[in-house]
Structure 1
């Protein structure tokens, strides 16, 4: 708000430039019937209005003769504010000074913790717990999960996260369509594919290749998989295996 009175700010012509810092805001109504310059030093605040008492004259359409020449009536407020601010700052104890820094709690906001124990429970329970914690529930829709359909499968931010009070917490529900992915790392490609098929994962992409020295213990075996073994995924999702080979 100090920039309003400096540089190309809308109240640059209102700055008293007498050693007293100012912050503030200007305002203009539609059709420029009314204008304001509101400013504050560390000691006093002033709100100045220039507008129509009667009628609807557009202040941007007329000019006023001043000591600085003819100026647009819509910015007359700033010249009046400047003189007013200098008069205010001339009073004992009202000149100079600095604005106190904001309190840290105002910058950080009041904190709240995302409740734990919501995953696997009902959406209604999650919403009630978030409301009680001072947080805002947001529906994230269904996601792949091996939990029963309709229960809470995940939250973002997650359980136990420290967030600003009132923050949105997105709640995702399970579609019940995910199953555990078998861990096939260390198996031959053929055995790995058979195990994946047996678990219902039939969409197996062409394998990636990892070069290893000839005779390496991992040669011709699976060294990585995506999704990872032990995770849950929708069986329709592709599975990629990485096979160790001496040449690719």
Structure 2
């Protein structure tokens, strides 16, 4: 069965359990809000560049939560940056049943906390999250902040040799990011899910010297076959770039 349809079954099962008045570890319907923010960059990246981010935008949704745990974070080797293949999830991640989902898509400013909306959910043992970063539409990105891409970051990178690169990094993903860790025994207590995007992981592998010549405004971009673009994609796809936590209490 397609796991994207499992949530309906889980909600139906939860409703049936409550209707029958059964005892034990039955599920209950609930909702919780989902917010997206980011973690600032505080150190130089792996290539010796200090990066300052001026703007960062992301297209997010749907977001789905599953019972299966992310057994091992996705790992990459240096040869992926020159065209090699990395093997993700050697622990054979299995998502299991869907427990919650938020189906809407939004363009968010990662430099501020943005609430996406409420996820329809059931109580239970959560283990992982699936995050979709789709190309935006005119409806989800009316201001054109993403220029048609799933993510867009603008900023400045400097190295110890005195080189300065004003850059614009953009990427789109063809499939959702699966197996993001989120381990929580969720009951009916008030709270919300916070997804923090680690910008240092997104930009951590990039050698900004491989960017193109600057445009008329002096901003560098990343050619499709460059080390910079390859490293950017690896960073955005890295499951450890997304730290998911449960924040107790009612929203302020």
TM bracket, shorter-chain basis: under 0.3
Could you say which structure has the higher strand fraction? 2
Q: Report the TM-score, using the length of structure 1 for normalisation.
A: 0.20
Tell me which structure has the larger Cα radius of gyration: 1
